[in-house]
Structure 1
């Protein structure tokens, strides 16, 4: 008979101590029956105490307390902190050393256990063992003993740490990054700036203490001015720049031919209802018509004027301001792309927009590759398309920021016609560009470099220029751009600028390619990328650069649900993923003021991804429906715009949420748009705008309790008309007009308004 294995008669862990134990009151079990060594082992444990283990796991009334109730309430959302730190318990080592005994004791223990009556389970006390705080050094790092090791590479966000440690964990340990964030905190953490930026704060920007790195976003103060001058030397070079500019060929065409072929076909007038809810005004807009929706609102009550200033303010030529002022444009078809032109310091501001032709117009052009592959992975037919450039004007003002001049009616200034398919993505070069004397020498003035991705799968760069006559509308057909490239064996899907001469492009096969747009002697017809790496397994939905703080870092989202941060210096090692989603996000933008990326979630949440803590995400907004558009972040304020499928545009400032996890998150609706079909299938339909929403505090808890989308116990998703969707958003990137915003709808309307709160 084989020898019996050794077993200890001592419990493997600390015994559970109950309050008001009836067995102890009856004298069946007392503290004297416990082994002194077990009691000593239980008392000397530190850190998290081990929980009692029961053989019967069906006790639903048993509530296991762990002493972390305060920590669980620290954040409202599961994406804020989803890391778990393993705490080693010293009881394990002590129990192994004390497991000694002989076979006689084991036999006696087994007989005693067999004859003992089953014990009744009792609910433990509400109190739990408090967590022992860890010893830390003055800089926030954990002070370890000589024989201890620390396995985590970063601090645990679940711990209660000071504000200084929280800033280092979120933004980094470099003083330049910390001073940049502190400068943004001092300027934008006021209560009025929780949603839209205020005009007073925008005007105070030059006088606020930036700690030396606030206005440069963590860079040295001379780096951005140097890039705005020396970074563009290649463009004005007599050899390199001349060959670059001469490679573009544009041909003037008649306005009648351009509107007949390249613009969406007119579908009648579009009816728009806007104004106060109790008395909305009706407008009828044809294609390319513009209306001032401020006519539907009353005038702002005039403030009392002092006696000595009545003579100055009594001029009859002054225009009274309305409660709401802005423009509504009708482009006749879904707004595919929308973006303000950067580096425009004057009164004239330009808004670029793309509205593809109608589906019945596309049927006139045969598609030779229709049966070869899926439409997303192959070039499309050579549909005609047009890039529209609209001019807006700002009022003269003594302050830094300017409002929209409502006496100047916006007009179409430039139409660039192409035959390479729909213009699906476009991006103006955002790098600062200082004006030079060479800009005023030619017959045309420089506007900027525009990069775009057309339906044929190629990426192109256009050097946009305008004539000197501000009242003339120019129509051109683009025959060849200044730069054109195509990734091998795939099509381009998204793009972003890395520098004035470098362009990063995502592809349908999961690769990311980076080109230099400078003229090349090796392969001028089809230049090769100097960076071509596979970062995802399939279609790259969006790509953004961490310019200007970390221009070598790019963030990408894909159809596989992954969101990845990659360094182009070493993409195989310097790479990190965040929480994977079931559905890929097509929206991604970088905020240089917050040092983070902002993207949409698979549901109706917006999330924030800090560069230094990319492995976890923070929920910053909850929208009433699926997110359909995210406006590119501004360099002059931290407010972010989100558009929904139900036609709502909301704004929020995630700065307070980043600095203090328990701060309330405020959101405010810009407008809500509704669209219905007309009686005729080819009609433009009818749109209605709702305005005047107040700021509200939103709960970011991820539960369905009280959720309006919960119907009969099941979560439902409402499908809205495509004409109702908000398809494009854009903040004005120029400092004097930083409060201007534009929104494009699926029905072809564009709304432009100054959102800076006075």
Structure 2
């Protein structure tokens, strides 16, 4: 029964028992006095603001009912008389031009509404939407609160691609020109970024001069006040190599066997902890591969590029999973939830690696990458960190004497505190091959949130830092404010945030900001399944929620080129939630496993997704967002697979102690250091050996495959699975090895080096490569 045919019939309560009978909407229950009564007519339905699904469908059977339903109340008639059609009405759907004071009232459009069946194509300006009941009367204001619109109610029923773009990005030419320029400029980029002239550039949505103005303000503050504040508050001392080694201890294996190279002739390479190889070595044609593969010993917790536009040296901050010393309790043995409670302090570190670039912006593999700095702390393990998106020093000040300024690094440590470190790399006491160990015993910005622990953080601008908590609160600090840096002798060393509000009822998982084009908007994903967008100018009123997901959203990124927040959903699909239609999902990529990481770039529209299966895929979603009939292209950067020792497998391929034949006819190189007792006997002349040595079978093995072609997998296949199911057991769920997952993913944000990407894996491997084509 449709909503219109159900009018006039009172729904009964779904609750059972006489004790809940007063909830039945018969007009006699006590529930009518608990909330404001918006209905003076018994024919009103219970949802005045929901759009009618059948409103645009002509139905001759309902004509008589509709004629009798349009009855306006006396209050509505008075409101209509007082309404002035000449008043200038701001467009509540245009998020780029509206402020918090512009949408206090939602008024009626001055132009008459088109009747059903006639053309309803808007022009350059779109009339604002007034919430109406389905009977035709205006919805009245309750308790003096102003009605607010959360954006465009629905896509226009009549019109083509132009009308759809106006619904997504705005009705005026100022809103549409940037997206048209973005589409036409990167129309040749299907998946991986292009190295041709103009392939890398800033977003068309950025206003001219805004970035330069923000950089100037940041550098002026840092030169006048900021550098002295950090130097006074931070306590740093240099450690010797022997004293710094305990801060880099991990629980991983001393070496790891990696199967790399062509599929028909793979090679097994034994990577010691802390070592690296050039990814082009196992291949005959090495000119098209520029990158490095590291073995850091344990799960890669985080990897982020530092902003450095003016130098050919690029810095990468890496955090490896480090556990407290002693026996680690099993999950059910822990008396408290580790996600909601801080840990005791213990030694840990963050590594700063440097990579050299060529003159054309490529990754220079002729020069070895170097571990420049090890940030040693006793604050527990670093769980998450982010660099400030802009450089606080210019080219002259950044190389002050023998020191190089890297930037501001904000992080969350497992002791439950948020800190911001000012990173300088002194070179006077550093040898070219040895790293420098700097111990930070105190940070200039050190905050502990009361009654909860921080769960995520994100820079809203070059100097403003936002922190989400396990209790659902959000706090924002700005470094340039005078009250941010408290003195050592202050009674309360915690600087108070200028913004602190309860934005969710439970754990905030991720935060993303629409900086640089729309810095006032921010998005959070919550453990209740919803993602929410807020306007910081009016966070309680200007907010909207996305479609509820059935899984936790553990990663989120702002895609500047489509003005949308990208995040995964439960169908292993990457969805885009635009500013004007945040509550509507636009899908662009799909994966065959849960998406664990998403990375976007500010200098090109390429998106990287990493899955629990170990695959990293790239795509350009601009064509899909601007024209939803477009089937997007996807291309795998590489696939990472980890397997445990053969003896620990649930299904063993052969009896223990026997050699196992590989699938394929290519030879496998013996890893360095293997003894002759473990090696297989030499093959006869003219015969290729395809036996796997026992030394490889008894240890964990990682296989990395690459060289995949671009494909168009589509979107629908992931939702409606075509895999056969067993009616007795139901649908199967694939469980992947934890070490196979992609745990860190990031693009280089600097303009000249935007084709560089980094991917960290659960096995402890880290891949840094220039993947531009």
The answer to whether TM tops 0.5 is yes
Using the TM superposition, give the Cα deviation of residue 693 of structure 1 relative to its aligned residue in structure 2, in angstroms. 0.8
Relative distance call for 1:446 and 1:172 in structure 2 (3 A) is same
Listed one character per residue, the Cα deviations across residues 135-187 of structure 1 (whole Å, up to 9, x for unaligned) are: 3343375899xx98899962632624233322221112354442222221111
- Distance of 1:457 and 1:625 partners within structure 2: 32
- From 474, 479, 486, the equivalent of 2:448 is 486
- Distance of 1:376 and 1:589 partners within structure 2: 22
- Distance of 1:97 and 1:249 partners within structure 2: 75
- Distance of 2:414 and 2:238 partners within structure 1: 23
Which residue number in structure 1 is paired with residue 771 of structure 2?
755
- Distance of 1:409 and 1:347 partners within structure 2: 14
Relative distance call for 1:96 and 1:572 in structure 2 (3 A) is closer
Which residue number in structure 2 is paired with residue 701 of structure 1?
716
Which residue number in structure 1 is paired with residue 535 of structure 2?
567
- Distance of 1:97 and 1:164 partners within structure 2: 32
Which residue number in structure 2 is paired with residue 234 of structure 1?
221
- From 281, 294, 302, the equivalent of 2:267 is 281
Q: Which SS does the other structure have where 1:199 is aligned? A: coil
Q: Does 1:519 align with 2:491?
A: no
Q: Which SS does the other structure have where 2:155 is aligned? A: coil
Q: Which SS does the other structure have where 1:234 is aligned? A: helix
Relative distance call for 1:158 and 1:699 in structure 2 (3 A) is farther
Q: Which SS does the other structure have where 1:381 is aligned? A: coil
- Distance of 1:484 and 1:651 partners within structure 2: 37
Relative distance call for 1:269 and 1:396 in structure 2 (3 A) is same
Using the TM superposition, give the Cα deviation of residue 613 of structure 1 relative to its aligned residue in structure 2, in angstroms. 1.1
Using the TM superposition, give the Cα deviation of residue 94 of structure 1 relative to its aligned residue in structure 2, in angstroms. 5.3
Relative distance call for 1:374 and 1:507 in structure 2 (3 A) is same
Q: Which SS does the other structure have where 2:311 is aligned? A: coil
Using the TM superposition, give the Cα deviation of residue 248 of structure 1 relative to its aligned residue in structure 2, in angstroms. 1.0
Relative distance call for 1:422 and 1:97 in structure 2 (3 A) is closer
Matches within 5 A, 1:113-192: 132-139=117-124, 141=126, 154=152, 156-157=154-155, 159-173=157-171, 175-190=173-188
Does structure 2 retain, via aligned residues, the 8 Å contact 1:235–1:244?
no
Matches within 5 A, 1:65-80: none
- From 702, 707, 728, the equivalent of 1:687 is 702
Using the TM superposition, give the Cα deviation of residue 88 of structure 1 relative to its aligned residue in structure 2, in angstroms. 7.6
Q: Which SS does the other structure have where 2:752 is aligned? A: helix
- Distance of 1:666 and 1:83 partners within structure 2: 36
Q: Does 1:741 align with 2:724?
A: no
Matches within 5 A, 1:633-672: 633-672=600-639
Which residue number in structure 1 is paired with residue 279 of structure 2?
293
Using the TM superposition, give the Cα deviation of residue 680 of structure 1 relative to its aligned residue in structure 2, in angstroms. 9.3
- Distance of 2:425 and 2:504 partners within structure 1: 40
Relative distance call for 1:341 and 1:98 in structure 2 (3 A) is closer
Q: Which SS does the other structure have where 1:229 is aligned? A: helix
- Distance of 1:296 and 1:366 partners within structure 2: 41
Relative distance call for 1:414 and 1:241 in structure 2 (3 A) is closer
Does structure 1 retain, via aligned residues, the 8 Å contact 2:199–2:604?
no
When the two structures are superposed, what TM-score results if normalisation uses the length of structure 2? 0.73
Using the TM superposition, give the Cα deviation of residue 90 of structure 1 relative to its aligned residue in structure 2, in angstroms. 8.0
Matches within 5 A, 1:593-604: 593-604=561-572
Using the TM superposition, give the Cα deviation of residue 439 of structure 1 relative to its aligned residue in structure 2, in angstroms. 2.9
Q: Which residues of structure 1 form unaligned runs of 5+?
A: 1-12, 14-47, 52-81, 100-130, 207-214, 300-320
Relative distance call for 1:749 and 1:348 in structure 2 (3 A) is same
- Distance of 2:154 and 2:300 partners within structure 1: 44
- Distance of 1:675 and 1:579 partners within structure 2: 34
Which residue number in structure 2 is paired with residue 459 of structure 1?
418
- From 329, 334, 339, the equivalent of 1:376 is 339
Q: Does 1:263 align with 2:231?
A: no
Listed one character per residue, the Cα deviations across residues 419-438 of structure 1 (whole Å, up to 9, x for unaligned) are: 11111111111135561543
Q: Does 1:196 align with 2:182?
A: no
Relative distance call for 1:182 and 1:135 in structure 2 (3 A) is closer
- From 311, 326, 331, the equivalent of 1:363 is 326
More displaced 10-residue stretch of structure 1: 224-233 or 286-295: 224-233
Q: Which SS does the other structure have where 2:280 is aligned? A: helix
- From 567, 589, 592, the equivalent of 2:557 is 589
Using the TM superposition, give the Cα deviation of residue 742 of structure 1 relative to its aligned residue in structure 2, in angstroms. 0.8
- Distance of 2:514 and 2:367 partners within structure 1: 37
- Distance of 2:710 and 2:264 partners within structure 1: 21
Relative distance call for 1:174 and 1:337 in structure 2 (3 A) is farther
Relative distance call for 1:340 and 1:240 in structure 2 (3 A) is closer
Does structure 1 retain, via aligned residues, the 8 Å contact 2:125–2:172?
no
Q: Which SS does the other structure have where 2:181 is aligned? A: helix
Matches within 5 A, 1:327-346: 327-346=292-311
Which residue number in structure 2 is paired with residue 732 of structure 1?
748
Which residue number in structure 1 is paired with residue 518 of structure 2?
550
Does structure 2 retain, via aligned residues, the 8 Å contact 1:298–1:322?
no
Listed one character per residue, the Cα deviations across residues 536-564 of structure 1 (whole Å, up to 9, x for unaligned) are: 11111000111011212110001111100
Relative distance call for 1:546 and 1:584 in structure 2 (3 A) is same
- Distance of 2:486 and 2:348 partners within structure 1: 28
Relative distance call for 1:96 and 1:455 in structure 2 (3 A) is closer
Q: Which SS does the other structure have where 1:580 is aligned? A: coil
- Distance of 2:297 and 2:392 partners within structure 1: 34
Number of residue pairs aligned between Structure 1 and Structure 2: 606
Using the TM superposition, give the Cα deviation of residue 406 of structure 1 relative to its aligned residue in structure 2, in angstroms. 1.3
- Distance of 2:370 and 2:493 partners within structure 1: 36
Q: Which SS does the other structure have where 2:299 is aligned? A: coil
Matches within 5 A, 1:368-517: 373-397=336-360, 402-431=361-390, 433=392, 435=394, 437-468=396-427, 471=432, 472-517=434-479
Listed one character per residue, the Cα deviations across residues 560-606 of structure 1 (whole Å, up to 9, x for unaligned) are: 11100011221110110010112220111102222111001123111
Relative distance call for 1:714 and 1:700 in structure 2 (3 A) is farther
Relative distance call for 1:637 and 1:714 in structure 2 (3 A) is farther
- Distance of 1:97 and 1:598 partners within structure 2: 42
Q: Which SS does the other structure have where 1:349 is aligned? A: strand
Does structure 2 retain, via aligned residues, the 8 Å contact 1:327–1:751?
yes
Relative distance call for 1:445 and 1:87 in structure 2 (3 A) is same
Which residue number in structure 1 is paired with residue 658 of structure 2?
none
Using the TM superposition, give the Cα deviation of residue 233 of structure 1 relative to its aligned residue in structure 2, in angstroms. 1.7
Listed one character per residue, the Cα deviations across residues 360-397 of structure 1 (whole Å, up to 9, x for unaligned) are: x6326999xx9763211111121321100111111223
Does structure 2 retain, via aligned residues, the 8 Å contact 1:704–1:710?
no
Using the TM superposition, give the Cα deviation of residue 441 of structure 1 relative to its aligned residue in structure 2, in angstroms. 3.1
- From 296, 315, 319, the equivalent of 1:350 is 315
Does structure 1 retain, via aligned residues, the 8 Å contact 2:376–2:439?
yes
Which residue number in structure 2 is paired with residue 86 of structure 1?
55
Q: Does 1:579 align with 2:547?
A: yes
Does structure 2 retain, via aligned residues, the 8 Å contact 1:512–1:534?
yes
- Distance of 2:345 and 2:67 partners within structure 1: 81
More displaced 10-residue stretch of structure 1: 253-262 or 407-416: 253-262
Relative distance call for 1:575 and 1:282 in structure 2 (3 A) is same
CA RMSD of aligned residues (A): 3.3
- Distance of 1:150 and 1:485 partners within structure 2: 49
Using the TM superposition, give the Cα deviation of residue 448 of structure 1 relative to its aligned residue in structure 2, in angstroms. 0.5
Listed one character per residue, the Cα deviations across residues 686-740 of structure 1 (whole Å, up to 9, x for unaligned) are: 2111111111112212676553485558332211111111111111111111111
Q: Which SS does the other structure have where 2:165 is aligned? A: helix
